[in-house]
Structure 1
Amino acid sequence: MRFRATRPSEFADVDVVVIPLFEDKRLPARGLRRATRAIVQRIVAEPGSAKLYAVSTHFGEKTGRVVIVGAGKRAEYVPERARGVASAAVKSLWRSNAKRVAVFVAAEGIGAEPAAQATVEGVIYAMWRPESHRTRPEERRLPKLTDVILLAEGDLKAAVRRGQIVGDAVNLARRLANEPANLMTPSHLAEEARAVAKETGLKVEILDRERCRALGMHSYLSVAQGSRQPPQFIVLRHVGRGGAGVDIAFVGKGITFDSGGISIKPAEGMYHMKADMTGAATVIAAMGAIAKLDPQVNVLGVAPCTENLPGGGATKPGDVFTSMSGRTVEVINTDAEGRLVLVDGLTYVQRQGARRVVDVATLTGAIGIALGHHFAGLFGRPVAFVEEVGRIGTEAGDRLWAMPLTDEFREEIKSDV
């Protein structure tokens, strides 16, 4: 799919025109043809047409298809709403034959570049569907878009490129996370990481069981004991400024299927645990995007990958293991495997000299009980770094909520053995 930006007065014939509509119902000053403007004015007069993400569609021989998407209050418009408007428009075209689409970019309050980038991201997000394993390919509901034209003033090439890179990375992470666990094994996820590295120029290294054992990663390896699938510790590097050191590191939990191990989960909903490697998928996709954007920093991404299954050699409640840091860990519940995997990943990046570390994980259902589905939990130190990560998350559309992390909790996790 091709993206480009142009002035509203210069776009050529398209199959669809998409117009964001705020509650004040003020239309774009330029770019709407007379016939189209007349149609739009009739649509916007309808009650509820400006309600956030409401979609109104008209098709005429002279105007083609016009899609109006409610953008809510103008004063509350942020990049995440620009993404939502673009996604809602594209989803309304899933069953159409539209190939060329022009989108008016609403830049009020956020600027043309952030609005254009968010619009591109929203279009790409709406193009993804988890239907690749359907028996009949024709059953897949995908829009037929080939060209998307962003209508806005100014040079937006860089913003469009950033939007494409970020959008493609998010969809890659979604694809990896939604693959069935019999296909997305630790070894296959390692191959996906190699493919990303080959495409983008990242340095890649895959540490097998023997390498991890030699490094003392017994906490991570304890989770892999019940599975036939060999563990794969994925390491990706972006060297942006040269020299030694790691400016920031990302650690992603890569449990390609989590049954809970001996402390087995309830059967209902267990199939969702194929997505317990979403942290690893996110790190792999993010590292690919970082390589394409090429910031002048050194970035390290690691993903400790394995399955967590019951078996003759599986970890048992009460077992004790020594982590890479040398600290011993008593396993009370084998379904708490995420922290066993992450602790060795965190030690690894620390020994590589990482100055800042962000770990990403589907770590516990308890955070969903605490925060619901609109925020992810954020634990960290120091406060300034936590606040910076939270701000960036909001800009990206992934809102975070800081949770307490104080010394009182340290006593509560000490073992009695």
Structure 2
Amino acid sequence: MSRILLIIGGGIAAYKSLDLIRELGRRGHTVTPVLTRAAEEFVTPLSASALSGQKVYRDLFDLTDEAEMGHIQLSRSADLIVVAPATADLMAKMAHGLCNDLASTLLLATDTPVMIAPAMNVRMWTHAATQRNLATLREDGIAVVGPDEGDMACGEYGPGRMAEPAAIAEAVNGALRNGPLAGKHVLITSGPTHEPIDPVRYIANRSSGAQGTALAEAVLALGGNVTFVTGPAAAARPSGARVVEVETARQMADAVQAALPADAAIFCAAVADWRVENASDLKMKKDGSGTLPALQFAENPDILATVSQGDNRPGIVIGFAAETHDVIANAQAKRARKGCDWIVANDVRPETGIMGGDENAAILVTADDVEEWPRLSKDQTARRIAARLAEELS
């Protein structure tokens, strides 16, 4: 049974923290709540205490609490500190080492791992100051869950909703799990890339990003730390991973380089081989003459080859090959050409339903072997790959 110190910040999403206490309790964790003054405007200490079965801490200068358990001891008595919701104010205090109440003092005095679930108005979330603070917290090793995109209590729509309690609880389980990938940094790319033709049109493919998300969740479940670089995929983003959103192949290449070094890299994204070199800044219009636009193409960066053959190469590099014919031969040739360790190949002819579907029929190609796996769900395929990766890294 793990001990969680749950810091509840002062935002409308605080009501979700009561559900989070339930979710963590169902998973066998003991939860000690800490409420900020602002949080008490949304939830009561009595409700948090009733759900957790534990005393609720509120005041830095409560002499009784200081005698029984000083704030430094309290900050270090847990296996994990979770801040949910993590407001813009709390994130700013954490990033700059400020402490003027119990919650911020606990966070500064601790050497316990910390996970935050941000929640705020979309404009506050996208503000440059918040993004700077977020980058600082990630560099400091703070795990981040969410935020989700959706309707706001203020009537706006966009990123800033606190992740759902079940997703946070699963991320907590992943963070606490002492699995075979504990302490390992795994870089995963996912989804399609969009290559602009003009401001409203682009070239893309049918990748849903489902296999990439499943891989990230499988690695997280084995205790790994995941940087998840994704194009504009339909699939949900993995809770507990550091998520980097990109659009084009060149943006993905830059994000991958920025995420290195890593112990392993899994390149699951369906990256466009070419981009439109003469993309228009204005929407292309038909003029009635029947003249078609002349699109000129240029090659995109070869991300897999660059990382496989680079100076900052991860210990294990895994590529994916989506093929419509000669699947094994093409995968073997790709592995040799790119210089990666493994290729996970699949037949993506339309009749297979694999690209954009819920299942995969993977073929694992290594330097010495070819393994044809049965048709499995993408979650099952991901777990097999993650387990093999853990064996290799051990």
> Which structure is higher in RCO with an 8 Å CA cutoff and minimum separation 6?
1
TM-score, length of structure 1 as denominator length: 0.31
TM-score of the pair, normalised by structure 2: 0.32
